[in-house]
Amino acid sequence: MIKEFENVTTGVISLINEWQPVLEALPEEVISLRKNHQNRSIKQVLGHMIDSASNNTHRMVHFHYQDNPVIFPDYANLGNNDRWINIQNYQDEDRDVIIQLWKYSNIHLMHVIENVDHDKLDNEWINAIGLKVSLRNMITDYLRHFKLHISEINELINSR
């Protein structure tokens, strides 16, 4: 494991362990009906986090064998992340399934991060808006991204 990313992996795992029981205890009207400024319910925010873990897992694998810069679709920019949420219909998915997918897709991503090849960390991916993102920066930023969405969930729980 690369020590540089230990704070990311332990941070995400810690948040999963903290938030899983909170999510499982939420009343249906809180997890399904309250909407944030993006018109997303908690189930939809969790769905986005599942998609993020899945896309990042695939992107990180591609960093290991594709030419640099990596060619990989950008689901998060240009409104595609909302399409993913709608196409998969997280809103009507069983809440327990979503919570487990959220948990295990992110645990698996942490496993992938723990096993990245140090020699690939400076490889880059060019996103849909033309920004170059290195594997190192993608990994380093994941905890911030995860916390951002946990914060959105927390706001929805505490809203009336």
Identify whether the C-beta of residue 123 lies closer than 8 Å to the C-beta of residue 68: yes
Cα distance between residue 10 and residue 31, in whole Å: 26
- 49-83 tens-digit pLDDT: 999 999 999 999 999 999 999 888 887 777 788 88
The total of structural domains in the chain comes to 1
Q: Check whether the bond before 69 is cis (ω within 30° of 0).
A: yes
Identify whether the C-beta of residue 135 lies closer than 8 Å to the C-beta of residue 123: yes
pLDDT in the model for residue 31 = 96
Q: Residue 99's domain spans which residues? A: 3-158
- 101-148 tens-digit pLDDT: 999 999 999 999 999 999 999 999 998 888 899 999 999 999 999 999
**CATH number for the domain harbouring residue 12:** 1.20.120.450
